[in-house]
Amino acid sequence: MEYSLKRGFRPDLERIQEALKEEFPGQISREGDDLHLSYGALKSITVRLDGKKMNVVTEANPEADDAEILDTNHRFRNFLEKATGYTAKQRLKMAKKEAQQG
Protein backbone atom coordinates (compact mmCIF):
# COMPACT_ATOMS: atom_id res chain seq x y z
CA MET A 1 0.00 0.00 0.00
CA GLU A 2 1.25 3.48 -0.79
CA TYR A 3 0.70 6.39 1.61
CA SER A 4 1.22 10.11 1.03
CA LEU A 5 2.99 12.14 3.69
CA LYS A 6 1.35 15.26 5.06
CA ARG A 7 3.11 18.58 4.59
CA GLY A 8 5.70 18.96 7.33
CA PHE A 9 6.24 15.18 7.65
CA ARG A 10 9.58 14.76 5.93
CA PRO A 11 10.34 11.55 4.04
CA ASP A 12 13.10 10.45 6.42
CA LEU A 13 13.71 6.76 7.11
CA GLU A 14 15.07 7.51 10.60
CA ARG A 15 11.81 9.28 11.54
CA ILE A 16 9.78 6.38 10.14
CA GLN A 17 11.90 3.90 12.11
CA GLU A 18 11.26 5.86 15.32
CA ALA A 19 7.50 5.73 14.67
CA LEU A 20 7.78 1.95 14.16
CA LYS A 21 9.73 1.57 17.43
CA GLU A 22 7.08 3.51 19.34
CA GLU A 23 4.26 1.22 18.20
CA PHE A 24 5.93 -2.15 17.65
CA PRO A 25 8.23 -3.45 20.38
CA GLY A 26 10.84 -5.80 19.03
CA GLN A 27 13.60 -6.03 16.49
CA ILE A 28 13.49 -3.74 13.45
CA SER A 29 16.06 -4.60 10.81
CA ARG A 30 17.24 -2.25 8.11
CA GLU A 31 18.39 -3.51 4.71
CA GLY A 32 19.38 -0.62 2.50
CA ASP A 33 16.31 1.62 2.25
CA ASP A 34 13.90 -0.99 3.66
CA LEU A 35 12.76 -1.47 7.26
CA HIS A 36 11.60 -4.98 8.22
CA LEU A 37 9.85 -6.32 11.30
CA SER A 38 7.32 -8.85 12.48
CA TYR A 39 4.69 -8.32 15.15
CA GLY A 40 1.55 -10.11 16.33
CA ALA A 41 -0.95 -10.69 13.53
CA LEU A 42 1.53 -9.50 10.91
CA LYS A 43 4.10 -12.08 9.88
CA SER A 44 6.10 -9.35 8.15
CA ILE A 45 6.01 -5.60 7.67
CA THR A 46 8.27 -3.90 5.13
CA VAL A 47 8.44 -0.11 4.93
CA ARG A 48 10.20 1.81 2.16
CA LEU A 49 10.22 5.47 1.17
CA ASP A 50 9.70 6.33 -2.49
CA GLY A 51 10.13 10.07 -2.93
CA LYS A 52 7.38 11.75 -0.90
CA LYS A 53 5.40 8.52 -0.49
CA MET A 54 5.74 5.65 1.95
CA ASN A 55 5.24 2.08 0.71
CA VAL A 56 4.16 -0.53 3.25
CA VAL A 57 3.93 -4.23 2.42
CA THR A 58 2.44 -6.56 5.02
CA GLU A 59 1.94 -10.30 5.27
CA ALA A 60 -0.71 -11.59 7.68
CA ASN A 61 -0.16 -14.32 10.25
CA PRO A 62 -3.11 -16.73 9.75
CA GLU A 63 -2.55 -18.28 13.18
CA ALA A 64 -3.17 -15.05 15.12
CA ASP A 65 -6.08 -14.96 17.58
CA ASP A 66 -8.70 -12.20 17.74
CA ALA A 67 -7.04 -10.28 20.59
CA GLU A 68 -3.71 -10.30 18.76
CA ILE A 69 -5.39 -9.09 15.54
CA LEU A 70 -7.12 -6.20 17.33
CA ASP A 71 -3.90 -5.15 19.08
CA THR A 72 -1.86 -5.32 15.87
CA ASN A 73 -4.45 -3.35 13.87
CA HIS A 74 -4.56 -0.65 16.56
CA ARG A 75 -0.77 -0.36 16.60
CA PHE A 76 -0.59 -0.33 12.79
CA ARG A 77 -3.15 2.50 12.51
CA ASN A 78 -1.25 4.48 15.15
CA PHE A 79 2.01 3.94 13.27
CA LEU A 80 0.47 5.14 10.00
CA GLU A 81 -0.85 8.28 11.67
CA LYS A 82 2.55 9.06 13.24
CA ALA A 83 4.41 8.35 10.00
CA THR A 84 2.10 10.08 7.51
CA GLY A 85 0.39 12.73 9.63
CA TYR A 86 -3.04 11.65 8.38
CA THR A 87 -5.76 9.98 10.44
CA ALA A 88 -7.47 6.79 9.24
CA LYS A 89 -10.48 8.84 8.12
CA GLN A 90 -8.27 11.21 6.12
CA ARG A 91 -6.35 8.31 4.53
CA LEU A 92 -9.64 6.67 3.48
CA LYS A 93 -10.90 9.91 1.96
CA MET A 94 -7.65 10.36 -0.01
CA ALA A 95 -7.71 6.74 -1.21
CA LYS A 96 -11.29 7.14 -2.48
CA LYS A 97 -10.32 10.35 -4.28
CA GLU A 98 -7.31 8.68 -5.93
CA ALA A 99 -9.44 5.70 -6.99
CA GLN A 100 -11.95 8.00 -8.70
CA GLN A 101 -9.19 9.89 -10.52
CA GLY A 102 -7.21 6.85 -11.62
- Domain definitions of the chain by residue range: 2-101
In the chain, alpha helices (H): 13-23, 66-84, 88-101
Q: Could you report the per-residue pLDDT of 68-92, keeping only the tens digit for each?
A: 999 999 999 999 999 999 999 999 9
- Residue 18's nearest CA partner among 82, 93, 63, 95 is 82
Contact 49, 13 (CB under 8 A): yes
Give the HSE-up count for residue 50: Cα atoms under 13 Å, Cβ half-sphere: 12
The third-level CATH classification (topology) of the domain covering 2-101 is TATA-Binding Protein (3.30.310)
pLDDT of residue 95: 87
- Residue 87 neighbours by CB distance under 10 Å: 12
Whole-structure pTM value: 0.92
Furthest CA-CA distance within the chain? 39
CB count within 10 Å of CB 25 equals 10
